[in-house]
Amino acid sequence: MKELDKKNIWHPLTQHKTHPEVLPIASAKEALLYDTNGNSYIDGIASWYTCMYGHCNPYIINKVYAQMQVLDQIVFSGFTHSPAVELSEKLLAILPTNQKKVFFSDNGSTATEVGIKMALQYHFNQKNNRHTILAFEEAFHGDTFGAMSASGLSIYNGPFEKHFIDIVRIPVPNSKNGAEILKKVTELHKNKPLAGFIYEPLVQGAAGMKMYNAEGLNLILQFCKQKDIICIADEVMTGFGKTGTLFASEQIAIPPDVICLSKALTAGMLPMAITTCSQQLFDAFYSNDMSKGLFHAHTYTANPLACKAAIAGIELLTSEEFIENRKRIHKAHINFRDRLKNKSTISNIRVMGVIFALELTKKMDRYGSSRDKLFLHFKNKGVFLRPLGNTIYILPPYVITNAQLEQIYEAIWEIL
C-alpha cells in the first residue's frame, strides 16, 4: 500500500521530498486507531477533533445506514428534506438564542468563507461602504481564499498573499492589553470602516491551542455591536463540547451574529459544515430584489446522510453519558496539570474543557525535525498526538478511557 500511495497521492500539509513515511491505517474503533500491521494507537486528537463520540460509533452508523436506504442526495435549492429540518431544530435549540437561520456547506473553510461573505454582503445590500474584515494575529480559519486571507499563520499563506481580501489584524486579548486593543480597533474602524470581525472564541486551535481572555474578547464584541460590525465566531474547532460548554461563545457575554461549525458537527462520519446567523443579518438579504440573496451553494449542500450523522452526534453530545465523560476527562487533565507543576522543561500548561496543552521550553519549527522526533516517540508509545512546533496538546474523543488517558500522560511525562 505504501508504494502505491507514494506513486499516486499528494498529501495535505506535506513536503513529499523530506516527509517520513506515511502510516497506513486499516480500521478504527472508539478511541483507537489500528494500522495495517495490527498495532494500535490512541487517537489523542480525535482525528483533528472530529470523532468526538468515538470512531465507528454504532449509534451514528445505524442512523446514517437507515437514511442511506431512503434518500441519499438531493439538490437543496428548491427542495428540502426531513434530516436537514430536524437538524436545524436540534442545532438552533443548543446554540446561543439569537441564532435563527442555518446555512449548509461542506467543510470548515467553506463555513468561514460563507460567514465572511454574509458580513460583506450584509453591508453591500444596505449600500454601506465597508469592505474590510478584522481578524486576530495567528488566527486560523481555513484554506479557501477568504478563509486563508483571514488566517494569520504565514506558513500556509505565503504564495497567495497578493490575492487576499482586505484584512486588518489585532493581537488576542490578555489580562492587560484590553484597552490598548480597543484603541487600535477604534482607529482601524475610523481608517477603513469594518464590515466584520472573525475570531476563534477562547481558543486558537491551529496556533497551538492558545487560550485567551474572555473579558477582552467581550470588549471587542461590544465595540463591534455598537458599530454594526458583523461578529463571526469560528467554532469549527471549539464547537460541540470541547471547551467545557457546548459552544465557546456561551462563555462570552455578547453572542456573535454568525457562527461557523464543522469538524465534530457530523461526529467524524461525513464532511459537512453549517454557518448560522441572527435574524437581523438574514433580514438584510430578504428582499424582492433577487440580487440581494446569498448566491453561494455547494453541490452536496445539506447532504441527507451527513445531516443524519449530525443529528445523532447532537443526541450523543447532550446525553448524560457524554456530559459525564467530558467532566471526567477535564478532571483527569487538571490532575495531570498539577503533577507537572514543578517541571522546568515546560511552560504554559493550560486546560479548558477537554483540551490540554503545554509548551516545551525547547524551541522547535512548526513542522521541523525535532517536532517529527516527538511525533515518532508518541507513535512508538502507541499514542497519536500531533505536536505543533514545541506545543503538545491533547484533545481526545469523549469515549477515551481513564487508562488510555493515563497512557497519553505517561508518553508526555517521558519526554520531559
User: Segment contacting ligand PLP (CB under 6 A): 101-109, 179-187, 215-223, 333-341?
Assistant: 101-109
Tell me if 353 contacts ligand PLP by CB under 6 A. Answer: no
Alpha-carbon distance 256 to 226, whole Å? 13
Tell me if 107 contacts ligand PLP by CB under 6 A. Answer: yes
Is the CB of 332 or the CB of 352 nearer to ligand PLP? Answer: 352
Is the CB of 242 or the CB of 326 nearer to ligand PLP? Answer: 242
From the list 262, 276, 325, 390, which residue makes contact with ligand PLP (rule: CB under 6 A)? 262
Residues with Cβ within 8 Å of 4's Cβ and at least 6 positions away in sequence, in order, are: none
Size of the site for ligand PLP (CB under 6 A): 15
Tell me if 117 contacts ligand PLP by CB under 6 A. Answer: no
**Alpha-carbon Rg for the chain in angstroms:** 21
Return the ∠ at Cα 300 (arms to 29 and 76), rounded to 5°.
130
From the list 44, 115, 152, 205, which residue makes contact with ligand PLP (rule: CB under 6 A)? 205
Is the CB of 138 or the CB of 234 nearer to ligand PLP? Answer: 234
Tell me if 234 contacts ligand PLP by CB under 6 A. Answer: yes
Number of C-beta neighbours around residue 114 at 10 A: 26
Is the CB of 31 or the CB of 207 nearer to ligand PLP? Answer: 207
Tell me if 109 contacts ligand PLP by CB under 6 A. Answer: yes
What is the closest distance, in whole angstroms, from the C-beta atom of residue 140 to ligand PLP in the complex?
5
Tell me if 256 contacts ligand PLP by CB under 6 A. Answer: no
Alpha-carbon distance 78 to 84, whole Å? 13
Tell me if 322 contacts ligand PLP by CB under 6 A. Answer: no
> Is the sign of the CA dihedral 124, 224, 280, 87 positive or negative?
positive
What is the closest distance, in whole angstroms, from the C-beta atom of residue 139 to ligand PLP in the complex?
8
State the greatest distance between any 2 C-alpha atoms of the chain, in Å, as a whole number: 65
- What are the two backbone dihedrals, phi and then psi, of residue 170, each rounded to the nearest 5 degrees? -130, 155
Residue 111 near residue 175, CB atoms below 8 Å: no
Environment class of 9 (CB within 10 Å of its CB; exposed 0-12, middle 13-18, buried 19+): exposed
Contact residues toward ligand PLP (CB under 6 A) are 107-109, 112, 140-142, 200, 205-206, 234, 236-237, 262-263
